[in-house]
Amino acid sequence: MDITKKLNDILVSLFNSVLKMEEDAIKNSSRHNLSITEVHTLAAIGAGKAKTMTQVATNLKISVSTLTTAINKLVDKKYVNRFRVPEDRRIVKIELTEEGIEAVREHEEFHCSMISDVLAELNGEEQGILLQSLDNLHDFFKRQRIKAIKGDAPAKLAPLSLGDVTIPIPIFQGGMGIGVSLSRLSAAVAKCGGVGVISAAQIGFHEPDFYTNPKEANIRALKRNIREAKEAIKDVPNKGLIGVNIMCASRNYDEFVKAAVEAGVDMIISGAGLPTALPGIVKNSKVKIVPIVSSARATALIIKSWTKKYNRVPDAILFEGPLAGGHLGFKEEQLEDAQEHFYETIMEIKEEIEDLQDCPLIVAGGIYTKEDVQKVLAYGADAVQLGTRFVTTEECDIHPNFKQVYLDAKEEDMVVIKSPVGMPGRAIRTPFIDRVENGRIPPEKCNRCLTPCKAEEAPYCITQALINAARGDTEHGLVFSGSNAYRATKIETVKDIFRELTS
Ligand SMILES: Cc1cc2nc3c(=O)[nH]c(=O)nc-3n(C[C@H](O)[C@H](O)[C@H](O)COP(=O)(O)O)c2cc1C
């Protein structure tokens, strides 16, 4: 028998057998009177905290109205409780009753015992082969979904159109504060045809009046860096763009955005919160605006909000995954799950924006090699953003001691810390982190640079810790990095990286 037919028969029969076993198990349950769809709905609600209808509908990939019909029946059958939240009576939540929890537990037991029975027939080596083969197969089917959107063309870094401008090589260098990505690094990246991004985060820390007049110092330094970078690339053929990364959480966010536009920046990238007001701040300018998101849900939210309020859609979407450096857009307890679903999230976001014209998807977080680039392209990315890889370059603006921490780091030195801003942050272990873990380091002075940070409660001043590192005092400094920093073995040039990633 030819292998194609045999494999097809096995897959079809396997699918039907599992479904049949599942149906039988549910039918034969002495206690429960549920259909297979109902059991899966209960599993999506889960035994944990109560959820909103939208959360469960998103999880099941069905509409809220379809879910409502199913939930009505499950409430009647006493498997689900539906209630209004006392603090806000407009919000309806659903949770499992004791009976619902028991039905989900029984269903999970069925799955566990089915898999244990399969594994019991195999030795360790066979189990490993089975796992690897099924994993590859699963991966393959996931990629088929994206082919329906992207077509059959092989995944490659193709010039990227953003309306009236084209980026010759769709490699973005992530904005890195404090003082890591300034005019020199961003210009070097744009010279190679990519998008060089200056970080606006406390960019004025070298200015003499930084501690007395931080707003003015930051605006002055921001404008100067943008002008220097634009000047450095002005006569370069096939150049890329200069962008600036401005965190929504920055105090004086509006003024920084306006200053960047005034200085002639090509693109504004904004995260650390959803930049819902950004189109209004840049109105009447040609600057491209790109929100950073961590999920398909956040993507849908920002598109809906910008369309409704400003009749405008993003020029691109930047999805930053949980392996990225610096502040992360996930709660600490979400990180593992977000990593497990990283490639799936790329596809979901791509599906979310597929109907928008000229709105490419940029993916960041844990991308270091050409293979990493190709993998995210295969899952639907149109461009990539790398941060960590660009730190250990000659052109990177940061102090050599900071780069040395990267070169010396080992895999076990990669840590996730609690930032006073309330989000987790990825960094390399330094004596500073050991000290913070052993007790609070009260901030000496505070210019309230980040709106979510409360100096009275903050375990340390993140701005001061990042400035210390930027000045080369890595003993007392916080060295942000993505999960791949330990892979750096030498100082490269930006050109070397472009050559390797595009070869
Ligand atoms: C040292 C460092 C500082 C960073 N600072 C910022 C920042 O100020 N704002 C921001 O939005 N992202 C920041 N990031 C995230 C990067 O822009 C980028 O998206 C991310 O690092 C990509 O993941 P990778 O480092 O694994 O390539 C920082 C990353 C690093 C490594």
DSSP string, 292-308: EESSHHHHHHHHHHHHH
> Ligand 1 mean position to 325 CA, how many Å?
4
- Same domain, yes or no: 178 and 327: yes
For residue 91, tell me if it sits in a domain. Answer: yes
Locate the ligand 1 atom nearest the alpha carbon of residue 269 and give its number. Answer: 11
Residue 144 lies in a domain: no
Q: How many angstroms from the chain centroid is the CA of residue 477? A: 25
Residues 115 and 246 in one domain: no
| Tokens found for residue 39 | 């059991």
Does residue 381 share a domain with residue 350? yes
How confident is the model at residue 30, as a pLDDT? 65
Give the position of tokens 């039905």: 103
**366 CB near ligand 1 (under 6 Å):** yes
**Which of 61, 93, 121 is where one domain is finished?**
121
- 178 with 314, same domain: the answer is yes
Say if 141 falls within a structural domain.
no
CA-to-CA separations, 500 to 15, 145, 384, 492, in angstroms, rounded = 42, 29, 14, 11
| Ligand 1 center from residue 353 Cα (angstroms) | 24
State residue 150's pLDDT score.
Answer: 63
pLDDT of residue 152: 63
**178: preceding bond cis by omega (within 30 degrees):** yes
Q: Is residue 154 part of a domain?
A: no
Q: Distance between CA atoms of 408 and 426, rounded to whole angstroms?
A: 17
Does one domain contain both 256 and 271? yes
Count of the separate structural domains present in the chain? 3
Inside any domain, residue 87: yes
Mark whether 373 and 442 lie in a shared domain. Answer: no
421, 480, 497: residue to mutate for ligand 1 pocket, most atoms within 8 A of CB? 480
What is the rounded distance in angstroms from the CA atom of residue 458 to the CA atom of residue 441? 8
The pick from 388, 462, 478 for probing ligand 1's pocket by mutation, whose C-beta has the most ligand atoms within 8 angstroms, reads 388
Read off the DSSP letter of residue 85.
E
Query: Quick one: how many helices (H) and strands (E) in the chain?
Result: 19, 17
Rounded distance from Cα 410 to ligand 1 centre (Å): 19
- Regarding whether 383 and 255 lie in a shared domain, the answer is yes
Pair 248, 274: CB distance under 8 Å = yes
Is 323 near ligand 1, meaning CB less than 6 Å away?
yes
Domain of 413? Answer: 402-487
Residues 246, 101 share a domain:
no
Helix (H) or strand (E) holding 96: strand 88-96
362 lies in the same domain as 416: no
Domain shared by 307 and 443, yes or no: no
- Among 63, 98, 121, identify where a domain stops: 121
For residue 83, the SS3 value is strand
Give residue 433 CA to ligand 1 midpoint distance, Å.
18
Judged on CB neighbours under 10 Å (0-12, 13-18, 19+), 52 is middle
d(CA 290, CA 14): 44
C-alpha to C-alpha distance for 492 and 60, rounded to whole angstroms: 46
Give, to the nearest 10 degrees, the angle between helix 370-378 and helix 494-502. 50
Q: Which atom of ligand 1 is nearest to the CA of 200?
A: 8
Measure the N-to-C terminal CA separation of the chain; round to a whole number of Å.
Answer: 42
Quick one: residue 252, left, alpha or beta (phi over 0 = left, psi -120 to 50 = alpha)? left
Per-residue pLDDT, 146: 67
CATH number at residue 319: 3.20.20.70
State how far the Cα of 74 lies from the Cα of 82, in Å rounded to an integer.
Answer: 10
Residue by residue, DSSP assigns 135-203 as: HHHHHHHHHHHHHHHH-SS------EEETTEEESS-EEEPP-TTTTS-HHHHHHHHHTTSEEEEE-TTT
Assigned domain for 161 exists: no
Q: What is the residue with the minimal CA distance to atom 3 of ligand 1?
A: 176
Mean pLDDT by 10 residues, the chain (503 residues): 87 89 82 87 88 80 88 95 85 91 91 91 93 86 69 78 93 96 98 98 94 93 98 96 95 95 98 93 95 94 92 96 93 86 90 86 97 91 97 98 97 92 90 86 74 76 90 94 97 98 94
Q: What is the CATH number of the domain that holds 31?
A: 1.10.10.10
Residues 107 and 179 in one domain: no
Evaluate whether residue 128 is within a structural domain. no
C-beta 271 within 6 A of ligand 1: yes
Q: Is there a contact between 67 and 53 (Cβ–Cβ < 8 Å)? A: yes
What is the predicted pLDDT for the residue at 154? Answer: 64
Q: Are residues 74 and 193 in the same domain?
A: no
133, part of any domain: no
